[in-house]
Amino acid sequence: MENFKQIKTLISQIEVDADKFYNRGNSAAGTRLRKGMLALRVLANQQRKEVTAIKNNK
């Protein structure tokens, strides 16, 4: 469940950069957004593994 909380926190953090990039054309925010999305992918993969492990242990 900790990974899920981290995912929610990360999404709320990169939401600001997404707004700056798409609506204001800030290219530095686009770089931060890409970095955040990469971190999100890593966390999502960890969450998938955790869910699978719990599911298989039942």
* pLDDT, tens digit (0-9, with 9 covering 90-100), for 14-23: 999 999 999 9
Please give the share of the chain, as a percent, with pLDDT higher than 70: 100
Amino acid, res. 56: N
Domain residue limits, the chain:
2-56
Indicate the DSSP class of residue 57.
Answer: T
Q: What's the Cα-to-Cα distance from 48 to each of 10, 19, 33, 39, 40, rounded to whole Å?
A: 17, 28, 22, 14, 12
User: How much is the pTM?
Assistant: 0.81
The burial of 32, by beta-carbon neighbours within 10 Å (0-12 exposed, 13-18 middle, 19 or more buried), is given as middle
